[in-house]
Structures are given as structure tokens and as C-alpha cells.
């Protein structure tokens, strides 16, 4: 079977934006086409749009044909929207790769983003009550995840001795990495002391433990390996393994808060499809919606043993020059998190790292991984990329 | 009773479930709440207890389910307070706890009846608290009715 490759990627400026949802999509599409001037809108035969809150917060349904029109794309193979909250972008990438590999499509733009700073920010907060089981968990006021991640950290700390300082080290690293990313929400380093003394959000999680509210969009273009050679002389970045796994959607009766069994399932499936192991991954963009998330992800993705995630970051093993460089573009903590855009932003950074033209390059990176969790740590989405 | 269609009830995203037998097949859950009971469904065929309540057993696909009572008293295992980004309709302090109701059943619930997070500790005993929430102005065919609603949280069990 043929391979699906990423041949272009770009994003809008992310943050508090003076732009509507459709304007953010136009900026992202333009940046994506600018990344590879050989590709024109007429070369695209399909579009998959990733957006979780386009109706409620972006005020728009039937989004894909609208984005296609604004970007001058006339689709023939696919024109639809994909939604898995924080995993929407990566879900659309998986669907596009499957269509290209099977021959149902040739060249697809995957574009995703959100408008979350609606005129009043509370609209986002209370719309999130629908991102967990609305009637049972949302009705308890559990829509915004900091409370959950506080409980996740408390259990991880009880079992493995993970400290609030180790959490802070994740945000210090990712804020430093974010300095390389002019399109991210924050380009400001923080010190360990600043992180430790920041105001509480969900006790004991503090401000810099949590990713922000963000407007933004991002886009990539995927095509078959044979067509890719018509458009680029750069090394081909192929999608070589994907997986999605889920566990209990209800927040009650969780087996464990601090071991994410669905992440382990997704990881082993994706590694096996790619024919590699965790040790082969050179660079990873994982879902650092909270600092504790990145620590658990080191463990359940197999970068370190269970319970050693805190010391993994403390020893610098997730930094440049460590075992695997994690969130090299700043991650969600630095770039922000417009849900549908995040997986695509991760794909752009991995593509640059494997092509060898990243802002801060991981030496000779051959295999890259993206990971998203979504909902109340219910679904895990993994895409593994390999350089030709 | 005159139906209030211009009330504060939000038609965009309502915080609470659709209750009442005109709107849901699991309306008995809310009737039980009004009696101070926390209940869920158990499969008559295979014995699987599901929470939240269902109309279909996810293990054997049987539709033959019965109501069973869950404990209404439990012990706090973990707790936290959301300080920023409190959703509209919820009041400060917004405290949540992961509560052990039995060996086989935990629930993550809001904690009410405390002035601050300092009033709660791991191992504290808590009990079910049922309260009224805004009614639903519902169109049932051509008829407009108000469906009264309740919901639940947990509070200290002194
Ligand atoms: Zn059954």
C-alpha cells in the first residue's frame, strides 16, 4: 500500500486574536500554502476540517465547504468536519492518511482551529460542560479540566512521590522551547520560582501548570508518496503508524487516575504498526494540557518506567540533548490550545524536525510522535511520523 | 401554571439533564433523588451494574434493567477547588471530591455545605445532598409545560 506524506504546514498566530473563526482558517491556509509554493489550491482534492466548538463558539456549522471556498479549494474526494475535542486535529490527520493510503483521495488539506475568546470568555468555560458526560459530570461543574488534573496529580504524587517542583520543570522547559515559535501564544520564559509561586487554579495546580484559552488555526497538506515527489525535494515525512484508544467516558469509577491504560493501548498499537519501539522516537509533541499530563505521558508512552516521569524531566531527559525531546515548539503550555488546531500544530513541528528545518533542530531526527488526550482523559490519539 | 419562556433558563447550553418522563427514559433516577435515594440500573440478565443509568446493558445488550440503590454515604479520597474559570451557574467555592461509596463504586462529585476548602480533609465522611435546579420550559407536542428538576451533590456528614 502507498504511504501518506506531509508536504506543507503552517499556522495562524495563536493567542487572544482580533479575528473570527473563518479568518483564523484563512490565515492558517495561507501560511500552509506559503510553506510550499509548489502546491496550489487546485492541487487539493479534499479537505478535512477539525473543530470541536465551531457551532457553539465559532457560530458555524457545515464548516468544511465554507473553509474550502475561502481558500479557493474545490473538493472532489472529501469535504467534512472531524471532531474529538482536543484530539480533533490528529483525528482528521488519521482519516486523511487512511483515505490517501487507500486511494480514495490523492491530496488533502487538513485544517483545524477554534475561536475560544468569544466576546465573553465564560462562554468557553460553560460550553466545556458538554465535553464530559453533560448530564452526569458536566452537571457537577466538571467541564473545565483543572479539577480532574489536580486529582490526577495528587494520586501520582501519593503513589510515586512526584512533586509540584517537577510539574513546574515541565512548564519552565516548554516555555523555553516556546521562544522558538513566533506563532505561539506565549514567548516568555518563566523561572522555577515564578512557576512555584503562581496563583492557584485548582489546588495544588497553579497558573503555569495549565495551558491557556486560545484562538487559532493550523493546516497541513497530505498526499501520496508518489505525488509528493512532484511537489517537494525535501525528505518525505510519512505517517507510519496511528492509533486511537478510549477508556471509561464517565468520571466516576475510574480504575486509576495516574496510569492511563488507553494511552498504553494506543502507544503499543501505533508502535507496532510503525514497526518501531518507544526507544526509536527522537522527538515527540505530547499533550501537555497540564504539566502532570506530560509527566504521565513520558511513562505511558514508554519513554521511561512507570512512576519515573518526574525524575525524567528533572534529569533533562525530555529536553534537547536528552533521551527524547518533548514539545520542542513549546507545546500547549506555550503555544496555547485551540482544540482542533493542536494536533495539526504538532504535525507541523514534527514535519519540520524530520525534514531538518525546525527552529530548534533535534540532531538527525528520524522518528517523531504526536499525542493528544481528549475529554476527561478518555481518548488518546497517536500519530507516528518517519523520515524517508 | 403559566410557563415562563423568558426565564434565565439557557436554551444554548443547559447545565442540568433533561428530566421528567416526557423527556427521558431514565426519569425514575430523578424521582428517586427526590426521595433521597441515589440509584442506578442493573442488568437483570447478566448482573452488570452501570453508572450513569442506562436503557441498554453495554455488556450483553439486554434491555431488561432494574433500579438498584447506591450508598448515599461515602468517604473523601481526593479533593480540589477550582479557583479560576468557574462555569456560569456554579458558585464559589467550587469544590470537587473523588468519593468512595463502596468497594466497587466511586463517584466524582461536587461538595456543597462547606465555607472553604479548608473545611474538608481526606477521609472525611460525606452524604448525598439533593437540591432543586431550574425547571425546564418544555414543548410537548403543542403543550407548553414546566418540568421541575432536582440534582445532587455531597455534603459533610457530621
Ligand atoms: Zn447485561
Q: Are residues B61 and B79 in the same domain?
A: no
Q: Are residues B45 and B77 in the same domain?
A: no
The pLDDT tens digits for B93-134 are 999 999 999 999 999 999 999 999 999 999 999 999 999 999
Rounded distance from Cα B58 to ligand 1 centre (Å): 7
- Neighboring chain A residues of B59 at a CB cutoff of 8 Å: none
Chain B contacts in chain A segment 182-221 (CB below 8 A):
199-205
Chain B contacts in chain A segment 140-169 (CB below 8 A):
140-144, 146-148, 150-151, 154-155
The answer as to whether B1 is a domain residue is no
> B58: alpha, beta or left, given left = phi > 0 and alpha = psi -120 to 50?
alpha
Domain end: B70, B87, B113, which one? B70
Residue A381's SS3 state is strand
Cα A220 from chain centre = 13
Rounded distance from Cα B65 to ligand 1 centre (Å): 8
- The pLDDT of residue A381: 98
Q: What is the pLDDT along chain A (388 residues), one digit of tens a residue?
A: 899 999 999 999 999 999 999 999 999 999 999 999 999 999 999 999 999 999 888 889 999 999 999 999 999 999 999 999 999 999 999 999 999 999 999 999 999 999 998 777 777 877 888 889 999 999 999 877 899 999 999 999 999 999 999 999 999 999 999 998 999 999 999 999 999 999 999 989 999 999 999 999 999 999 999 999 999 999 999 999 999 999 989 999 888 999 999 999 999 999 999 999 999 999 999 999 999 999 999 999 999 999 999 999 999 999 999 999 999 999 999 999 999 999 999 999 999 999 999 999 999 999 999 999 999 999 999 999 999 8
For β-strands A367-374 and A205-206, DSSP reports them as unpaired
Give yes or no for B78 touching A (CB within 8 A): yes
The answer as to whether B120 is a domain residue is yes
- Neighboring chain A residues of B105 at a CB cutoff of 8 Å: 252-253
Q: Are residues B80 and B155 in the same domain?
A: yes
Whether A86 is catalytic: yes
How far is A150 from A157, CA to CA, in rounded Å? 10
Distance from CA of A205 to the nearest CA of B (A): 9
Chain A contacts in chain B segment 17-76 (CB below 8 A):
17-18, 51-52
How far is A1 from A4, CA to CA, in rounded Å? 10
Cα A237 from chain centre = 17
Domain that holds residue B60: 19-70
Nearest residue in chain A measured CA to CA from B13: A127
Q: Are residues B63 and B119 in the same domain?
A: no
The answer as to whether B93 is a domain residue is yes
Cell of B75: 468517604
> Which residue among the candidates A86, A210, A289, A335 is catalytic per the annotation?
A86
Q: Is there a contact between A253 and B78 if contact means CB atoms under 8 Å apart?
A: no
**Burial environment of residue B38 by CB neighbours within 10 A (0 to 12, 13 to 18, 19 or more):** buried
Mean pLDDT score of chain B: 91
pLDDT classification of B9: cutoffs 50, 70, 90: very low
Q: Is there a contact between A133 and B52 if contact means CB atoms under 8 Å apart?
A: yes
Give yes or no for A226 touching B (CB within 8 A): no
How far is A322 from A313, CA to CA, in rounded Å? 9
How far is A184 from A346, CA to CA, in rounded Å? 12
How far is A50 from A81, CA to CA, in rounded Å? 6
Total count of domains within chain B: 2
> Which residue among the candidates A156, A337, A371, A380 is catalytic per the annotation?
A337
Q: Are residues B94 and B154 in the same domain?
A: yes
**A4-120+214-237 shares its CATH topology with A144-211+238-387:** yes
Nearest CB to B15; choose among A133, A139, A155: A139
- Neighboring chain A residues of B51 at a CB cutoff of 8 Å: 250, 252-253
Q: Are residues B120 and B101 in the same domain?
A: yes
Cell of A115: 475561536
Give percent of chain B above pLDDT 70.
92
- The pLDDT of residue B2: 42
Nearest residue in chain A measured CA to CA from B151: A139
How far is A363 from A26, CA to CA, in rounded Å? 33
The pLDDT tens digits for A134-143 are 999 999 998 7
The answer as to whether B8 is a domain residue is no
Q: Are residues B121 and B51 in the same domain?
A: no
- Neighboring chain B residues of A146 at a CB cutoff of 8 Å: 80, 82, 84-85
The answer as to whether B5 is a domain residue is no
- The pLDDT of residue B12: 57
- The pLDDT of residue B143: 92
Going from the C-alpha of B113 to that of each of A117, A252, B91, B98, the distances in angstroms are: 33, 21, 12, 16
> B23: alpha, beta or left, given left = phi > 0 and alpha = psi -120 to 50?
alpha
Instruction: Say if pTM beats, i.e. exceeds, 0.90.
Output: yes
Instruction: Report, as an integer, the average pLDDT of B17-25.
Output: 95
Nearest to A281 by CA among A331, A307, A318: A318
Q: Are residues B90 and B139 in the same domain?
A: yes
Q: Are residues B149 and B107 in the same domain?
A: yes
Distance from CA of A306 to the nearest CA of B (A): 21
CATH architecture of A144-211+238-387: 3-Layer(aba) Sandwich (3.40)
Count helices and strands in chain A by DSSP H and E runs: 13, 12
How far is A297 from A302, CA to CA, in rounded Å? 8
Whether A360 is catalytic: no
Cell of B143: 403543550
How far is A290 from A309, CA to CA, in rounded Å? 14
Give yes or no for B9 touching A (CB within 8 A): no
What is the full DSSP assignment across A189-208?
---HHHHHTSPEEETTEEGG
How far is B82 from A181, CA to CA, in rounded Å? 31
- Neighboring chain A residues of B153 at a CB cutoff of 8 Å: 140
Q: Are residues B61 and B80 in the same domain?
A: no
Enumerate the domain spans of chain A.
Answer: 4-120+214-237, 144-211+238-387
Q: Are residues B86 and B154 in the same domain?
A: yes
Query: Could you give the count of Cα atoms lying within 13 Å of B26 in the half-sphere of its Cβ?
Result: 23
Query: DSSP state, A286?
Result: -
Q: Where are the alpha helices (DSSP H) in chain B?
A: 27-34
Q: How many CB atoms lie within 10 A of CB B6?
A: 6
The answer as to whether B147 is a domain residue is yes
Give CATH for domain A4-120+214-237.
3.40.47.10
Q: Is there a contact between B85 and A125 if contact means CB atoms under 8 Å apart?
A: yes
The answer as to whether B9 is a domain residue is no
Q: Are residues B55 and B98 in the same domain?
A: no
Q: How many pairs of residues across A and B have Cβ atoms under 8 Å apart? A: 106
Structural Rg of chain A based on CA atoms? 19
Going from the C-alpha of A99 to that of each of A63, A177, A224, the distances in angstroms are: 20, 34, 10
- Neighboring chain B residues of A143 at a CB cutoff of 8 Å: 87
For β-strands B73-82 and B125-140, DSSP reports them as antiparallel
Amino acid at each position: 500500500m502507498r504511504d501518506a506524506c506531509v508536504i506543507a504546514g503552517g499556522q495562524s498566530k495563536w493567542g487572544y486574536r482580533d479575528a473570527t473563526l473563518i479568518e483564523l482558517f484563512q490565515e492558517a491556509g495561507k501560511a500552509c500554502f506559503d510553506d510550499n509554493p509548489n502546491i496550489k489550491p487546485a492541487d487539493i482534492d479534499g479537505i478535512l476540517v477539525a473543530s470541536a466548538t465551531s457551532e457553539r463558539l465559532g457560530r458555524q456549522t457545515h464548516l468544511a465547504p465554507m473553509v474550502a471556498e475561502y481558500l479557493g479549494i474545490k473538493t472532489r474526494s472529501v469535504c467534512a468536519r472531524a471532531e474529538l475535542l482536543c484530539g480533533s486535529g490528529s483525528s482528521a490527520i488519521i482519516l486523511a492518511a487512511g483515505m490517501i493510503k487507500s486511494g480514495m483521495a490523492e491530496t488533502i488539506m487538513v485544517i483545524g482551529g477554534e475561536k475560544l475568546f468569544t466576546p465573553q470568555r465564560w462562554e468557553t468555560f460553560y460550553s466545556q460542560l458538554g465535553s464530559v458526560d453533560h448530564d452526569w459530570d458536566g452537571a457537577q461543574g466538571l467541564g473545565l479540566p483543572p479539577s480532574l488534573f489536580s486529582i490526577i496529580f495528587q494520586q501520582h504524587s501519593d503513589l510515586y512521590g512526584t512533586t509540584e517542583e517537577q510539574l513546574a520543570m515541565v512548564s519552565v522547559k516548554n516555555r523555553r522551547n516556546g521562544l522558538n515559535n513566533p506563532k505561539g501564544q506565549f514567548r516568555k520564559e518563566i523561572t522555577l520560582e515564578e512557576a512555584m509561586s503562581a496563583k492557584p487554579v485548582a489546588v495544588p495546580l497553579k497558573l503555569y501548570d495549565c495551558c491557556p484559552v486560545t484562538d487559532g488555526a493550523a493546516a497541513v497538506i497530505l498526499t501520496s508518496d508518489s505525488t509528493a515527489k512532484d511537489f517537494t525535494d525535501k525528505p518525505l515525512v510519512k505517517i507510519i503508524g496511528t492509533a486511537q484508544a478510549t477508556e471509561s467516558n464517565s468520571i466516576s469509577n475510574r480504575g486509576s487516575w495516574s496510569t492511563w491504560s488507553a494511552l498504553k493501548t494506543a502507544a503499543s498499537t501505533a508502535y507496532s504498526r510503525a514497526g518501531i519501539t518507544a526507544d526509536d522516537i527522537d522527538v515527540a509533541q505530547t499533550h501537555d494540557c497540564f504539566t502532570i499530563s506530560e509527566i504521565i505521558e513520558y511513562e505511558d508512552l514508554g519513554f521511561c518506567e512507570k512512576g519515573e516521569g518526574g525524575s525524567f524531566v528533572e534529569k533533562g531527559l525530555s529536553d534537547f540533548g536528552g533521551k527524547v525531546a518533548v514539545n520542542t515548539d513549546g507545546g500547549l503550555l506555550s503555544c496555547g490550545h485551540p482544540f482542533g488546531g493542536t494536533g495539526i500544530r504538532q504535525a507541523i513541528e514534527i514535519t519540520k524536525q524530520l525534514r531538518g528545518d525546525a527552529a530548534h533542530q533535534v540532531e538527525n531526527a528520524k522518528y517523531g510522535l504526536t499525542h493528544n488526550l481528549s475529554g476527561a482523559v478518555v481518548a488518546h490519539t497517536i500519530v507516528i511520523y518517519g523520515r524517508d | 401554571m403559566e410557563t415562563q419562556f423568558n426565564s434565565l433558563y439557557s436554551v444554548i447550553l443547559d447545565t442540568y439533564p433533561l428530566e421528567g418522563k416526557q423527556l427521558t427514559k431514565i426519569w425514575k433516577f430523578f424521582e428517586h433523588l427526590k426521595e433521597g435515594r441515589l440509584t442506578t440500573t442493573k442488568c437483570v440478565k447478566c448482573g452488570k451494574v452501570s453508572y450513569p443509568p442506562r436503557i441498554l446493558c453495554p455488556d450483553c445488550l439486554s434491555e431488561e434493567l432494574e433500579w438498584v440503590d447506591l450508598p448515599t454515604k461515602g468517604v473523601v479520597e481526593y479533593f480540589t477547588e477550582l479557583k479560576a474559570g468557574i462555569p456560569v451557574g456554579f458558585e464559589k467555592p467550587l469544590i470537587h471530591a473523588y468519593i468512595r461509596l463502596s468497594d466497587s463504586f466511586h463517584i466524582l462529585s461536587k461538595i456543597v455545605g462547606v465555607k472553604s476548602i479548608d473545611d474538608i480533609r481526606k477521609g472525611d465522611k460525606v452524604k448525598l445532598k439533593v437540591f432543586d435546579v431550574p425547571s425546564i420550559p418544555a414543548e410537548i407536542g403543542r403543550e407548553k409545560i414546566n418540568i421541575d428538576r432536582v440534582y445532587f451533590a455531597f455534603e459533610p456528614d457530621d
